[in-house]
Structure 1
């Protein structure tokens, strides 16, 4: 019934659209259900129900308007997901069986693999099947460009709270931009069935201030 708390402008739009669409769906469900019960009691399957041309015209026209009303914001949001603003930095992601490789394209020699931490190696402050040995670190309040591909099979890089889901396909480079609006720790997982260990290649993104991010970059470069 509920989505994760929003951490980006895109996710704010998705949650708003989802809530409005659910209201419309519930209203249609109750209205149609009530009409069906009322008609069955009143007419007892009278032939007028099968030959009511005016009634057929109404229940064809109304859903058309409803679908048009839902489609407009849906298309607007879909195209906003495809927009690429001038990014502050670029992160390249490579999907592998069964781990992620990250490259910070704006800097030299910043590349690392990210593996899930096995259960028997978890510390008290780690999350089972969600935490990784090397987290992505990105600054909030900056536009991030994501470039993604795969070395072997199809993967999908997904963080629900950011409203980000991008397919990783061998031989193809996909891109997407997103904007993180608050600091925090955000979790995701591969969302494309990619083999036996598909459930064990999580994603962890740490959103920090620009100052903390700069310190992390300097540490990675040294």
Structure 2
């Protein structure tokens, strides 16, 4: 318990002092991660909206069961009723569910449509190829940029400059994050090289299978700068649990600088970007 409280406190301290937003799993988490996209905000709204119906229906069924158990128990009704039909009840339990399903179906279809309808043409296209057990990423631009991203081993943290476990959690931190500009529609083409995997980023509200020989397309538009974590969400072998996804959302100017440098020196570009972000966070914290 002390370790859990300590990890929660460390994470809270980091996010309170940092200028950038971030989302990652937390101990004893019961709800979704904080939304970083409009789609995820809609998902959270629909979850809360449908929960009202689920709660009401559950309580109604529980009340009816309790009523029937007490009202029609054998001791109170030694001679069972022979009633076989009741028109009003038939109408209620036919019309009622139809109305409830309509109230659930309309916003559900609206959300589904939004998930497949980007607000504008994507300005950046990435290809994510899943492997056992890491990811290959390709920026499909005039001069393509490709690199591999794998889980960061504890012994490599110091060399990578990622010793802060609150910002770079164990089993979630990677050696090379995806870097994208904020408020930009990004298309992600997802496939796999060996078995079925899945590309999932909870804070963005996106998840799709990575299937060998097939390309699935998803999109996102991150509204907040920060570092976001996801994982492979399809059982893909013995190291399935060690296949994280990390996306760093930055300002357009930071992205442009990183991209120009990454084409010739990815490691140096990542270090420079991290130093700039951490420096800005310290300045913001000092100003507060």
TM-score (norm 2): 0.73
CA contact (8 A) 1:119 1:129 kept: no
- Quote the residue 1:114 is aligned against: 149
- Quote the residue 2:235 is aligned against: 193
Tell me the SS of whatever aligns to 1:194. Answer: coil
Work out which of the residue numbers 31, 34, 42 in structure 2 matches 1:13: 42
Work out which of the residue numbers 191, 194, 218 in structure 2 matches 1:152: 194
Q: What pairs with 1:16-165 in structure 2 (closer than 5 Å)?
A: 16-44=45-73, 47=81, 51-84=85-118, 85-123=120-158, 124-125=163-164, 126-165=168-207
What is the CA–CA distance in structure 1 between the aligned matches of 2:225 and 2:83, rounded to whole Å? 59
4+ runs deviating over 4 angstroms: none
**Cα displacement string for residues 68-109 of structure 1 (whole angstroms, at most 9, x for unaligned residues):** 210111111112111243011111111111110000001414
What is the CA–CA distance in structure 1 between the aligned matches of 2:261 and 2:83, rounded to whole Å? 75
CA contact (8 A) 1:122 1:128 kept: no
**Cα displacement string for residues 111-141 of structure 1 (whole angstroms, at most 9, x for unaligned residues):** 0000111233334313111000001000111
What is the CA–CA distance in structure 2 between the aligned matches of 1:170 and 1:13, rounded to whole Å? 31
Tell me the SS of whatever aligns to 1:47. Answer: coil
What is the CA–CA distance in structure 2 between the aligned matches of 1:72 and 1:99, rounded to whole Å? 39
Tell me the SS of whatever aligns to 2:126. Answer: strand
How big is the shift at 1:219? 0.7
CA contact (8 A) 1:93 1:147 kept: yes
TM-score (norm 1): 0.93
How big is the shift at 1:53? 3.8
What is the CA–CA distance in structure 1 between the aligned matches of 2:112 and 2:236, rounded to whole Å? 26
How many residue pairs match? The answer is 222
Tell me the SS of whatever aligns to 2:36. Answer: coil
Structure holding more strand per residue: 1
How big is the shift at 1:52? 3.0
* Most deviating of 37-46 and 84-93: 37-46
- Quote the residue 1:4 is aligned against: 33
Structure 1 residues without counterparts, runs of 5 or longer: none
Q: Highest Rg: 1 or 2?
A: 2
- Quote the residue 1:179 is aligned against: 221
CA contact (8 A) 1:116 1:133 kept: yes
What is the CA–CA distance in structure 1 between the aligned matches of 2:237 and 2:64, rounded to whole Å? 48
